[in-house]
């Protein structure tokens, strides 16, 4: 069975953009495994010669801000249970919100390898600001731009090394 990496985060931070960037056309909903529902979407990515499964915990429908925080916590718990590593995505262009903090704590209690992807860092200037998010308590903090495909390889290198 391939290792599984969960993408968690509050709505609108770019989880689906990252998921689609990574899985490309191989994106799929795998319906024949126990416990899989349509509120999560599964795909597969090959990197550095290794295939890994990804789950977008935001699901198939566009994320609804109104669902926070209960829904993202429910999803994060599922991610924690089934994943071998977790990427928490945050919007690097906004302040840290209380759901971000709560989610970070929940994930940190889970004991799985954790990575903070500070997304929407579209320029080098913005990338430097990613360090501000270290206050969330993650050892691994990576600025990325899912939309512009920046630093995605570095993120995958770090995650793959933990699998
Ligand atoms: P989700 O709700 O976490 O799945 O977030 P989405 O992937 O749906 O993205 C939410 C919004 O953020 C969309 O308008 C995206 O186009 C935008 N977005 C995602 N990634 C980036 C990025 O790297 N840079 C910028 N500027 N916008 C992004
Ligand atoms: Mg989404």
Cβ neighbours of residue 57 closer than 8 Å, sequence gap 6 or more: 6, 7, 8, 15, 40, 72, 75, 76, 78, 79
Region of 111 on the Ramachandran plot (φ > 0 left; ψ -120 to 50 alpha; else beta): left
Residues with CB under 5 A from ligand 2 (ion): 15-16, 58, 63
Q: Ligand 1, closest atom to CA 89?
A: 3
What ipTM is given for this predicted complex? Answer: 0.99
Structure tokens given for 69: 């925080």
The mean per-residue pLDDT over the stretch 95-108 comes to: 91
Q: Ligand 1, closest atom to CA 63?
A: 2
Pocket of ligand 1 (CB under 6 A): 9, 11-17, 58, 63, 119-120, 122, 145-148
Please give the pLDDT value at position 26: 45
What's the number of domains the chain is made of? Answer: 1
Quick one: CA torsion of 134, 45, 12, 90, rounded to 10 degrees?
A: 0
CATH of the domain at 90: 3.40.50.300
Domain that holds residue 112: 4-161
Note the pLDDT tens digit of each residue in 120-140.
999 988 888 888 999 999 999
Q: Please give the Cα distance from 98 to 41 (Å, whole number).
A: 25
The mean per-residue pLDDT over the stretch 127-154 comes to: 94
Binding-site members for GTP are 9-16, 56-60, 119-122
Question: From the CA of 13, how far away is ligand 1's center (Å)?
Answer: 6
The mean per-residue pLDDT over the stretch 43-66 comes to: 79
158 within 8 A of 115, measured Cβ to Cβ: yes
Question: From the CA of 159, how far away is ligand 2's center (Å)?
Answer: 21
């Amino acid at each position: 069975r391939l290792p599984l990496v969960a993408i968690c985060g509050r709505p609108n931070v770019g989880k689906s953009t990252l998921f689609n960037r990574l899985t490309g056309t191989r994106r799929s909903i795998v319906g024949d495994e126990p416990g899989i529902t349509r509120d999560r979407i599964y795909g597969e990515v090959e990197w550095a010669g290794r295939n890994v499964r990804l789950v977008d915990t935001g699901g198939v429908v566009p994320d609804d801000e109104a669902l926070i925080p209960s829904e993202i916590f429910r999803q994060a718990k599922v991610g924690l249970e089934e994943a071998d590593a977790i990427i928490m995505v945050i919007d690097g262009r906004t302040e840290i919100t209380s759901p971000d903090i709560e989610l970070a704590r929940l994930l940190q209690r889970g004991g799985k390898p954790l990575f903070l992807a500070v997304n929407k860092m579209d320029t080098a200037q913005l990338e430097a600001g990613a360090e501000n998010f270290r206050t969330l308590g993650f050892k691994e903090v990576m600025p990325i731009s899912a939309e512009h495909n920046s630093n995605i390889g570095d993120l995958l290198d770090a995650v793959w090394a933990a699998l």
